Structure 1
Amino acid sequence: MKSVSLTTPVRIAGQPVRVLFIANPDGRPRWVWPADARRPTFLSFYPAVTLRQRAFRLAVRLIFMLGLQRLVFSSVVIDRPEMAGESDWALFTGTTGPNRKEVLIRDRQTVVKIAVGPDSQDNLANEARTLKKLEGAKTPLPFVYPNLVHYADHRLSITRLADYGTWDTITPDHIEALRSLRAGFSEQGGLHTWPEWIATNERLTALEAGSDTRIPGRLLTDLLVLAAAFDPVRPVRYGLSHGDFTPWNTLRTDGRQLGIIDWELAREQTPVGYDYFHFHLQQGIMVERKSWSRIYADIHAGLTPLVKLAVFGSIRVNVDRYLRLYLLHHLTYYLSVYTRQEVWHPQIHWQLEVWRDALGDLTPSGHGRPQLIASLFAALAGVDYAVLKLGDGDPADLPPDSDLDILLSRTAAETLIARIQSFRGVDRVRIVRKSFMASLAIVLSNGQLLHLDLIWKLKRKATVFLEAATLIEGARVNAHGIRVVNERDTADYLRLFYGLNGQPIPEKYAVPGGELPVLPIQSNRGWQKWRNRFDYVQDTLLTAWRDRGFVVTFSGVDGAGKSTVIGEVTQLIDKRIRRPVKVLRHRPSVLPILSAYVHGKEGAEQRSVERLPRTGNNRNLLSSLLRFGYYFTDYLFGQAYVYVRYVLRGYAVVYDRYYYDFVLDARRSNIELPAIVPRLGLPLLMKPRYNFFLYADPDTILARKQELDRATIVDLTNRYRALFRDCQDRYPRHVFASVENVELAETLATVRETLQTSIK
């Protein structure tokens, strides 16, 4: 009888059976199944990611539906594999290389993996250990995985997961899975404590000493330079990684739940982000045939602040550092595998091409705010300009919340804007153009921010109060080579700017008192006067349309730390994002609190502050409906009022609690209603752009406030998180983020980077 195996690891039962097969390019069978099979079980070996792959699966299913498989596929008689079922089995003979294994789908419930060589034996033993570790996880995992049935004699039997296809992109379910693997198996330590760091350097030494000319010499040189650049003592965050986290190893299972298979390359104590990087790299190379620059862009495009927090455990992480660690480990591992492989398939050469570009691109370099400012003034060489309020200071030393005001001509401003957008390290630029200036908010790839005002007319509403050209002409060069407005003109500017706005001049400018300078007459009379008024109206209308503000909500159980976070965030929005802020408590408050009709507005507010939450004694259904209807009316009409009065004027509106409290914790407002009643009202309301639910473990909350019992804290937290997950699915253009608020700095960093996405 004829064996279809590339070697002969599959035990045979001595029972001849006719099979069909699909061959490899070299003619050897790849997928084998019984000729009398009624369903294409072997398609489980071929997850469809691309349109071409989906078309192939559809064609195969059609062939089976029409009963044409014996006419289409090659046939041979073999001895039945020992562990195979009667007809519903399929065999994958494995991919060429040291890691090769054979996989037998024994029946609809069981998969058996059979090791072919020493490497695959180690891999299967590792998968068995990993599956046991997952079964012993302290908290339930948000994905399904095969159950270990039996492992012995280098044969691994596991349960078969339902397969309803896969995804070609990372979804929120993937991210939640990566978060659980990181958080459930988290460690921290220097690189020298990482076992794989030693193995990586050993592989690199062996590759350097080897004589495989198929590996480009430049690739090895770059790997050596990359390895030498790491500080082995500097702390690194570790977690459990799958090791081959790809679309073909992540499946849609029953109920469309994420299922993860093939844990052979799983590793404990792996630098965080490993699986996230691997998904993008393998998908980009093997499926989409992308260049490194496009893969790198995809990696960073997907790293929203919340994704970064889930994958890395911190918002303040140097992503490229972990990307370099991943590449160093990944490349040395697979290069050591490929050197032991006689024939290289085309996919290896695809990888070499992308790896080369990746290593060339990821040499450490600085592209922060100081470098941006240096590039900015280099671009101004030969341009007539003057910086306001800088004096003898160095612009590179300005605090993070300081901006730059530069006087120059309108033509020069537009040229500079085009240059800035092409600067290296610039992620995105929000530009708000007005008749007299352009305001730029420049966000760098590392999350740093620079606000820049390019001004060609000095105006307050419809009045020109100084001639910009005169200030540019009288500028001087300071000690750092920067052209700045001279002291006399700066004093005139400050007196006029703050005087016309009815504000005192800040003490930091140390401007002596004096009369306001005379306004330029020529620029504020005749047709120019009417032109200024027209421009002012136009600027106001266009700003309301193009530079609208946004609404932010903070929810959480009492003791979650909302008040502290809101206080910091309002300062952050004002100083860093440069928007005026309006804070509202719980609702728009177009209608007064109900008790105001009895105790007056101030008395009602005082009673509300003094009263503990959830202590009202209302249990009447009719009273609750009336109370809820009153507050819902406030939301329904008040949100339009808030939008027109604040959002259209560029404000950031911050809610301390929002309508979600009525959905999940109506008792807090002395309302006793089924949750479905306020939930039905949610689709009728405008959805705030950013919504944060702050939570912490019960012990942390009880240490801050003892207003709720442990069970209530756990229940409310679980229900809030479930509501926010549901809202994120229903309203994907908005942010519904659950943020663990234990370390204030980490929470604020998450909120800051999320809010900076408003800069577009």
Structure 2
Amino acid sequence: MTEQLLSATTTAIDVPTLLARLGYAPATEGGIRLRGCHNPDGSLRWVWPTTLRQPLFLEFYNAASPKAQLFSALVRLVFACRLQGLFFKKLPGQFAATGQQAWPVGDFALFTGTPGPNRKAVCCYDAAPGQRVFAKLPLGAAAAQKVAAEAHNLDHLAECGFTSFGLPRILGYEASHLLQSSVKPVGAQRATHFGEAHARCLTELLHATEVRQPLIASTCWQTIGEQITALEELPETRIPFGLRSKLRHLRQAIDPLHQLSFAFAHGDFTPWNCWLGADGLAIYDLEMAQPEASLLYDLFHFETQQALLVTRLPAASIRERVLAVAATYFSEVPATDVAVAWQLYLLHQVSTGALLYHAQPDWHLQISWLLNGWNALLTQELAASVEHRQLAIYDLLDYVQLLPQPGVVLKPRATNAYYPAPTSDLDLLLTRPDTLAGVEFMQRFSLVQLATVRKAAHMVSVDCLFQDGSLLSVDLLHQLHRKTLRLLDAPAVLAQAELAVAGVPVPSLLHDFTYTWLFYWLNQSDLPLTHLRHFQQQRPEAQEAMLAHLNEAYGISFNNIACASVYQPAKAALLHYALRQQPANHRLARKRRGLRYLLSTAADFVRPGGLVITFSGVDGAGKSTVIEHVKERLEKKWRKRVVVIRHRPSVLPILSAWKYGKEGAEARSVQNLPRQGQNFSLSSSLVRFGYYYLDYVVGQVVIWLKHTRRGHVVLYDRYYFDFINDGRRSNINLPARFTQALYAFVSKPKLNFFLYADPQEILRRKQELSASTITQLTQQYKSLFGELGARYRRSRYVPIENQDLDTTLNLIGRYIQQEI
């Protein structure tokens, strides 16, 4: 009989076969009719005879939340008014008792079970006044094992004579069913918060069954290891790779020689598996009980399940609450033991649940809640040992895989998308609603220090700075557009996605190549070498198919992939024409996209822009080396476009260019040593300074339009401060007060660093100035930076003694991080 209901481990239920388990068979006349209540997905949840006068099926319902309590009250009102027929329709068919079963007696209610390998139907009926019975009916081999385990656990606990909590009595057990008494006391209620009664129950179990031993000697530790290994070795699974990897990371972070207490645990100790009455706690559903669970396992499970499935708390709040409850009711347990026990609970619960859901073909919404919640809780535990950027990638890719329409990783070039290059961004294609949800996911990620959102017509970019200083830039696209042109149909790319390493959805090879090629050609550039090598490594017939598609779709032919990777303006013109002829790119559509593009560009124009940083110092102080390293870090770590400018905006050419030409003037500038000019004339100095000052005034607008407002970082190798303290370097001889006063009309960069060093060290590097001149200039710059820092509070003027390069770079990096 059990094997006939294996299909019932999914959402489909064979009602006649299930009724046969209760001793009923289909009848053409007479017998009973049934009513039912359905789940949101349309599957049947509860079944009861039409003659039932009380909503007995509410015995299966966890009416703990306000919404659930309201539903329960409304159902009771419906039954009290005898209006069941208006709200609960009759099910087809009628059934007559066969006499083959001594139960149920009279009316009953039947819960069809939660889908999964452990699915069981539960029948509730009154055997006599005041004697309510629950019959568990396993619907598969795995469920039968769980029911047998529960019968064994109830027998074992009954022999122990516990006094702080109540248990069901076994009224009958066979392989096909388990009959047990109701354990609900009169006036009992669900307790959604862990309290004194729960603590007394767990304390009695702990004292009666406690064993203290090294983790490595416990059954729990061995089980965790076996389950994590089993998860990692699954050839194909819907359980996300990031979650499985984090389980391995966390187990490796725990000392297996740590001494900890282990004891009997209910295993599924939740508000919906216990009643709180006047005489204390009553517990039931012990099929998941563990003879040797880690310390406080039931406490952790009680709080975590309630938080993940009912109150939907964030991971940080769950962790904080769990540890606070443990400290309140088990203050005698060392905090180190509680912390290790919490991690063991997560390892066991998550690995157990993941294996269970792997074997379950149909997933309900709560499974996604649990997987995402477990992921976030594991991230909290790994924050101290794993780079936050990597944890964010784990969680984000897991999250998009668990969406109803999984997202697609665009331009995937890493062997495993979960481990991109340290400086790589993530490009994800999602549906439009999922794009917005993805932005919210990144903003709420527990380890994010700052998340900057940039919206465009077809995508949203999120730049994340994490608490450990690592960064990740994520582009969430919902359309594959460039300005007015649609490159590919996004729904088609999503629908035809393929699974790559670690189960990551990626575009089909043809979509991948086409999108990558169009992306770079429409940006008037060649395909980068990494992309070229990836496509050249494909099978010859696949490469031929790619080239044939370019010819068919755009009328452009190439001999090989290498030729196609090189941007060619003439063929690019043909490409633009071919794209405009596509039905999706008709004139009206192009105008509509063009308007959206202009609006998003205008919005981007008024958003906070980039950053201007200046570096000052005498020659030999190490400016060039520092600027080079800062530029590299900004580009690779911070993913910023960096522009280096020498001394001034250079909108106007240097003065000598008017006489010698641009190239000749630059050559003379390189050959001449600084501070060697012979101009001592006030009028000549005013002309020279006025010319360069005009360059600063006009140039600051140009720099803002070209770079700052577009989010670029501008690094100045020297700045206006040289005109104040070291005018001789520019062949200018003017009072410092005059040039300093005019600084009021010059752009004030956010960060200004003056690098200095010991004069002898500077002379060792460059012998261009005397020791006395170096000392004098250093003092003047320090004094100037002090004055400017006091006057212009929105900018920072920072003198740094550049003795050790790493120390200097770390200090500069902290200032930049605060601004970015």
Q: TM-score, normalised by structure 1?
A: 0.50
State which of 525, 531, 535 in structure 2 corresponds to 1:503: 525
- Residue 676 of structure 1 and its aligned partner are, at CA, apart by 0.6
Q: Give 2:616's aligned residue.
A: 555
Q: Is contact 1:476-1:485 (8 Å) kept?
A: yes
Q: CA–CA distance in 2 between the matches of 1:755 and 1:461?
A: 32
Q: Give 1:373's aligned residue.
A: 393
SS in 2 for 1:577: coil
SS in 2 for 1:405: strand
State which of 637, 652, 655 in structure 1 corresponds to 2:698: 637
Task: Mark the CA change 1:725 to 1:528 in structure 2 (over 3 Å): closer, same or farther.
Answer: same
Q: Give 2:505's aligned residue.
A: 483
Q: Give 1:466's aligned residue.
A: 488
Q: CA–CA distance in 2 between the matches of 1:595 and 1:624?
A: 14
- Residue 750 of structure 1 and its aligned partner are, at CA, apart by 3.2
1:625 has 2:686 as partner: yes
Q: Give 2:676's aligned residue.
A: 615
Q: CA–CA distance in 2 between the matches of 1:392 and 1:589?
A: 41
Paired positions, count: 405
Superposed counterparts of 1:425-444, under 5 Å: 425-444=447-466
SS in 1 for 2:640: coil
One-letter amino acid of the structure 2 residue matched with residue 456 of structure 1: H
- Residue 695 of structure 1 and its aligned partner are, at CA, apart by 1.9
Q: Give 1:493's aligned residue.
A: 515
Q: CA–CA distance in 2 between the matches of 1:745 and 1:703?
A: 20
Task: Mark the CA change 1:594 to 1:456 in structure 2 (over 3 Å): closer, same or farther.
Answer: same
1:695 has 2:795 as partner: no
Q: CA–CA distance in 2 between the matches of 1:485 and 1:757?
A: 38
- Residue 617 of structure 1 and its aligned partner are, at CA, apart by 1.4
Q: Give 2:785's aligned residue.
A: 724
Superposed counterparts of 1:268-283, under 5 Å: none
Q: CA–CA distance in 2 between the matches of 1:473 and 1:361?
A: 36
Q: Give 1:737's aligned residue.
A: 798
One-letter amino acid of the structure 2 residue matched with residue 373 of structure 1: I
State which of 701, 716, 737 in structure 2 corresponds to 1:676: 737
One-letter amino acid of the structure 2 residue matched with residue 552 of structure 1: I
User: Which residues of structure 2 form unaligned runs of 5+?
Assistant: 1-252, 254-315, 317-379, 537-542, 555-578
Q: Is contact 1:555-1:693 (8 Å) kept?
A: yes
SS in 2 for 1:726: helix
Q: Give 2:656's aligned residue.
A: 595
Q: Give 1:545's aligned residue.
A: 606
SS in 2 for 1:557: coil
Q: CA–CA distance in 2 between the matches of 1:406 and 1:555?
A: 42
Q: CA–CA distance in 2 between the matches of 1:361 and 1:374?
A: 14
Q: CA–CA distance in 1 between the matches of 2:383 and 2:668?
A: 61
1:754 has 2:805 as partner: no
- Residue 396 of structure 1 and its aligned partner are, at CA, apart by 4.1
1:403 has 2:425 as partner: yes
CA deviation digits over 1:668-725, x for unaligned, max 9?
1111122111011111112112222222222322222111122222221222122223
1:453 has 2:475 as partner: yes
- Residue 366 of structure 1 and its aligned partner are, at CA, apart by 4.3
Q: Is contact 1:386-1:406 (8 Å) kept?
A: yes
One-letter amino acid of the structure 2 residue matched with residue 434 of structure 1: A
One-letter amino acid of the structure 1 residue matched with residue 388 of structure 2: G
SS in 1 for 2:761: helix
Q: CA–CA distance in 2 between the matches of 1:522 and 1:402?
A: 34
State which of 571, 594, 597 in structure 2 corresponds to 1:536: 597
Q: CA–CA distance in 2 between the matches of 1:584 and 1:482?
A: 42
Q: CA–CA distance in 2 between the matches of 1:650 and 1:367?
A: 26
Task: Mark the CA change 1:611 to 1:484 in structure 2 (over 3 Å): closer, same or farther.
Answer: same
Task: Mark the CA change 1:674 to 1:544 in structure 2 (over 3 Å): closer, same or farther.
Answer: same
- Residue 558 of structure 1 and its aligned partner are, at CA, apart by 0.3
- Residue 361 of structure 1 and its aligned partner are, at CA, apart by 11
- Residue 367 of structure 1 and its aligned partner are, at CA, apart by 5.6
Q: CA–CA distance in 2 between the matches of 1:439 and 1:597?
A: 45
One-letter amino acid of the structure 2 residue matched with residue 425 of structure 1: L
Q: TM-score, normalised by structure 2?
A: 0.47
Q: Give 1:659's aligned residue.
A: 720
One-letter amino acid of the structure 2 residue matched with residue 369 of structure 1: R
CA deviation digits over 1:328-384, x for unaligned, max 9?
xxxxxxxxxxxxxxxxxxxxxxxxxxxxxxxx9999554621112112123224222
Superposed counterparts of 1:105-120, under 5 Å: none
Q: CA–CA distance in 2 between the matches of 1:678 and 1:530?
A: 51
One-letter amino acid of the structure 2 residue matched with residue 441 of structure 1: D
- Residue 605 of structure 1 and its aligned partner are, at CA, apart by 1.3
1:712 has 2:773 as partner: yes
State which of 409, 412, 423 in structure 2 corresponds to 1:390: 412
Determine which structure has greater relative contact order: mean sequence separation of CA pairs < 8 Å that are 6+ residues apart, divided by chain length: 1
- Residue 758 of structure 1 and its aligned partner are, at CA, apart by 4.1
Q: Give 1:649's aligned residue.
A: 710
Q: Give 2:435's aligned residue.
A: 413
Q: Is contact 1:557-1:695 (8 Å) kept?
A: yes
- Residue 583 of structure 1 and its aligned partner are, at CA, apart by 2.4
One-letter amino acid of the structure 2 residue matched with residue 648 of structure 1: R
One-letter amino acid of the structure 1 residue matched with residue 396 of structure 2: L
Q: Give 1:218's aligned residue.
A: none
- Residue 398 of structure 1 and its aligned partner are, at CA, apart by 2.2
- Residue 496 of structure 1 and its aligned partner are, at CA, apart by 0.9
One-letter amino acid of the structure 2 residue matched with residue 604 of structure 1: A
Query: Higher Cα Rg: structure 1 or 2?
Result: 2
Superposed counterparts of 1:282-361, under 5 Å: none
